[in-house]
Amino acid sequence: MRGTLRRWRVGALGLACSATLFVSPATNATAAVSPTVQRARAIPRPVLAGAETLVVQRVGMRFYQKYMTLDSSACRFSDGTETTRTPHWTLIYRVRNGEGPPNAIAIDVDGSGRRFGPQPVRGTPNCLHEPTACEFALDEEAARSAACKAGLAPGNKPWKVQFQFVYGSWQRYAWTVQSTHGDGPCDAKGESYTIDPDTGQVLERSEWFTICCPAAPQSILFAPDTTPGPVQR
């Protein structure tokens, strides 16, 4: 079993920190590197057209028209990264499942709208090859019911329910229902169930718990990259 470090908080004085650890039989993680970017204000027409073509090739026109909306405020332009100085655009689309929260699909294109990078479309499965991975029969209430039937304990706080794209080996959308036990920030723990949004099947069960580390000298600076786990952004 492998654990993935999920969240760090660093205090302004004393650098007191805490971490939430997720333990799963099949943990997958992807670290992201953020280049210097500028918020997009006027997206060129070729960029919009090229991005739309790329995403439709992956999800199909039906999914694109039914679930996806361009988030212009989140789109951005980059002069390049440390490995390549090629200017490019990142367009952000939102995917909504009924009344569930929106999710992000990121699409990278150059100034002419052509694909940029080895994985230009991120945050969605290939709906054309796997149509069932893009079908959402369950709303939030049905996801809660599925978790309850599967045995998720109530906990001492309301369940946290999210609809999101699960990276790693799953590469699909899912509902995540998370329970919480414990009274304080340093003894909180619980379980997380990943549920298929079409069938209600529990795809994965994982446990999480929080650990706290003692205060450190002020001279120590700690700013680690955050690595997302398999079932929660």
Residue 227 maps to a domain: no
Residue 225 maps to a domain: no
Quote the percentage of the chain above a pLDDT of 70. 70
Domain that holds residue 161: 2-31+134-213
Same domain, 19 and 74: no
Predicted TM-score (pTM) of this structure: 0.64
Which DSSP string do the residues of the chain spell out, in sequence order?
A: -EEEEEEEEE-SSTT-EEEEEEEETT-------PPPEEE-SS--HHHHHHHHHHHHHHH-HHHHHHHEEE-GGG-EEES--SS----EEEEEEEE--TTSPPEEEEEEE-TTS-B-SS--EESS--TTT-GGGG-----HHHHHHHHHHHT----SSPPEEEEEEETTTT-EEEEEEE--B-SSTTS-EEEEEEE-TTT--EEEEEEEEEEEE----TT----PPP---SS--
At which of 97, 124, 151 does a domain end?
Answer: 124
pLDDT in tens, 202-217: 999 988 888 776 654 4
Number of domains in the chain: 2
At which of 124, 153, 175 does a domain end?
Answer: 124
Residue 228 maps to a domain: no
Residue 224 maps to a domain: no
At which of 100, 124, 148 does a domain end?
Answer: 124
Same domain, 109 and 53: yes
Same domain, 152 and 188: yes
pLDDT in tens, 154-206: 988 899 999 888 887 778 899 999 999 877 767 788 999 999 998 999 999 98
Same domain, 155 and 86: no
